[in-house]
Chain A
Amino acid sequence: MTKPRKGLSLTTRQGLTGIGFISPWIVGIIFFFLVPLCSTIRYMFGDIKFGSGRVIFKYVGLENIKEMFFRNPDNGRMILENLWSSIGTTVLILIFSIFAALLINQKFHGRALVRALFALPIIVSSGVLLQVFKQDLFAQTMTAEAGSIFQSSALEAAMINMGLSNKIVTFVTGFVNSIMDIIWKAGVQILLFLAGLQAIPTSLYEVSSVEGATAWQTFWKITFPLLTPYLILNTIYTIIDSFTFYDNPVMAEVISLFRDMKYGWASVLSVVYSLVVFLLIGIVFLLLSRFAYYTEK
């Protein structure tokens, strides 16, 4: 930081230069974020039509909200169901990506190749392609059933015969069935965790091995605490990603309302949904930041 040395004028000049640097962003945040945000909230209470060269807004009160959430009970349920499934996937993706990052951070032959493969999902994966991938002709011809590649019906039967409770069976088979999704959605997260692992000074590991700590202890006492900033970033990233993903039903509903020109309804649905996501992120952030460990404050 260049510190002001010759009194106030330099400080002021510095400040103005700084504002100059961020000025495009200031214009952007007003016109492409704050104004749209306010007008979306306004659209919730109106009937929107296109006039010549402008939007015609007719105030209708709570009509849109009533329509979307009281007359049509599906929307509320859809958001809630989607919330639960997204939380579930987020947790699974985070656990998997920490595990995968730990694995490919170790030294072994062919590590460069494996790392290159792990970067594949970042570059080629979009929700659309994932769906094409899962429509698998090969698997269909081999097992003579339509569906995804890895079916866990045999596992499910075995577990039920073992007398495990229904909940455990659904959880495990759900995980197995979605493993393809998880691996293909965890690309960025793995990369970020890997960056986090590389940033941990090796001296800490040397000390712990001299002190006789086991690998398990080293992970929980050194690796995990130092990864917590990355964990927060990844959690927020994963939540946002899962809520804007191609196969998200709420998003599809917003788009289809939009194409039918039901702008008021679309606004209600998207604002409520955003509020839910925002609250979730807020809660997660507050919870996690209490445990976060930063080396330098």
Chain B
Amino acid sequence: MQDSQKDFLRRKRREHLASHVVWPIIRAIILIGICFLLLYPLLYMFVSAFRAKQDLYNPSVIWITRHWTMEHITTLIDLINYPKTLMNTVSISVVSAVIQMLICSLVGYGFARFRFKGKGILFSLVILTIIIPPHAIINSLYMTFRFFHIPIYSLFGGTVNLINTPAAFWVQALFGMGLRSGLFIFIYRQFFRGMPSELENAALIDGCNPVQTYLRVMLPNALMVMVTVFMFSLVWHWNDTYNTSILAPKLKTLSTAIADMKIEVFRLKDGGDTNPMLNQVRMQAGALLSIAPMMVVFLFGQKTFTESVERTGIVG
């Protein structure tokens, strides 16, 4: 009896030691390691983007720069035509994200709350749009937008070339076929399915038609999901290089500009010669320029972002 009690206590103490002392230390080491890998490139980028030329070959300068300069930033602003590129990126990503946020909620609500013939088949098509990789249709999408038919205008045989315009992305978003729209429709559907039907019944009794019910009762409740969808859509459009490089090769966005930057940076001369060290630093300055707007979004929206995903419980 005594022995078994001692054994029990000893075991408990050991468990306590493992879970309250040893594990936190291991966890801290792992987490610090991962966070280092996450922060390192960013810190490095911030530091080296402002490093003056005379510090590049100075072995005593590793992190903190002695001479600061805005030279690389201004070079890169000229090189990638930053104001225009930024405007292109914003007009593609922000506008598409807003359209996607609204249209996908409409479609998701339709799928979640109404019964009609062929709904099952139609919804499996939504899943298909998620699963089929964009490669399969991008070639013909190019043709669709190269010779785009606008309903009444086309009666006279004319087509519009939407390649290299943001409209190619807006039109897709408007008809629920934008970048990863299927996923957003799925998320909205899961959310609306979980809403209590009493809300709709009450609205119906109060004399709302379905559109009013949707606008006044359902959408305000779905605010968190809308934020999630908007943020994801914004980020994915911002970082997309695949669709932009095919549908809008000449319309440079920040992502495609950075992708092409390397070649252009290495054409830059430093007093007649190519200076690889300087060019590396210039690349970092370019990366910083392309990240900066998203970093601002991140600083302000990070908390809403993580919380909204947790609260909406995407899979449902």
Interface residues of A (CB under 8 A from B): 1-2, 11, 14-22, 24-29, 31-33, 35-37, 39-40, 43, 48, 50, 53-55, 100, 103-104, 106, 108, 114-129, 132-133, 135-138, 141, 149, 179-180, 183-184, 191-192, 194-196, 198-199, 215, 229-230, 233, 236, 240, 243-244, 246, 250-251, 254-255, 258-259, 263, 266-267, 270-271, 273-274, 277-278, 281-282
Contact = CB atoms under 8 A, between A and B. Distances in A.
B175 A32 contact: yes
A128 B259 contact: yes
Nearest to A134: B41
Contacts of B135: 243-244, 250-251, 254, 270-271, 273-274, 277
A12 to B, nearest CB: 9
A108 B31 CA distance: 11
B27 A15 contact: no
Contact of A124 (B175, B298, B312): B298
Of all A-B residue pairs in the complex, the 5 with the closest CB atoms, nearest first, are: A18-B114, A21-B110, A28-B175, A126-B239, A15-B116
A266 B41 contact: no
A209 B176 CA distance: 47
Nearest to B183: A237
B298 A246 contact: no
Contacts of B294: 123-124
Contacts of B41: 133, 136
A17 B114 contact: yes
Nearest to B286: A132
Interface string B9-36: 0000000000100001001101100110
Nearest to A149: B40
A271 B137 CA distance: 8
Interface in B111-152: 111, 113-117, 119, 122, 125-126, 129-144, 146-147
Contact of A244 (B134, B284, B298): B134
Contacts of B116: 14-16, 18-19
Contacts of A118: 34, 38
A37 B258 contact: no
Interface residues of B, number: 104
25 contacts: A18-B116, A19-B116, A21-B110, A21-B214, A22-B106, A22-B111, A25-B126, A28-B174, A28-B175, A28-B176, A36-B139, A36-B141, A36-B143, A40-B137, A40-B139, A104-B31, A115-B306, A126-B241, A129-B290, A132-B45, A133-B44, A137-B44, A196-B315, A199-B313, A270-B138
Contact of B114 (A14, A48, A120, A194): A14
A244 B245 CA distance: 12
B115 A14 contact: yes
Interface of B: 19, 24, 27-28, 30-31, 34-35, 37-42, 44-45, 48, 59, 62, 103, 106-107, 109-111, 113-117, 119, 122, 125-126, 129-144, 146-147, 157-159, 171-172, 174-177, 181, 185, 197, 200-201, 204, 210, 214, 235, 238-242, 245-246, 249, 255, 258-259, 277, 280-281, 283-284, 286-287, 290-291, 294-295, 297-298, 302-303, 305-306, 309-310, 312-315
Nearest to A215: B19
B201 A2 contact: yes
Contacts of A236: 130-131
Q: Is the interface of A mostly helix, strand, loop or mixed?
A: helix
Given A53-B147, A132-B287, A117 B107 contact: no
Given A127-B239, A183-B38, A243-B133, 9 more contacts: A21-B110, A36-B139, A36-B144, A39-B143, A116-B302, A124-B295, A137-B277, A192-B315, A194-B306
Contacts of A104: 31
Nearest to A44: B139
A21 B144 CA distance: 25
A200 B110 CA distance: 29
A43 B143 CA distance: 11
Contacts of B115: 1, 11, 14-15, 18
B38 A135 contact: no
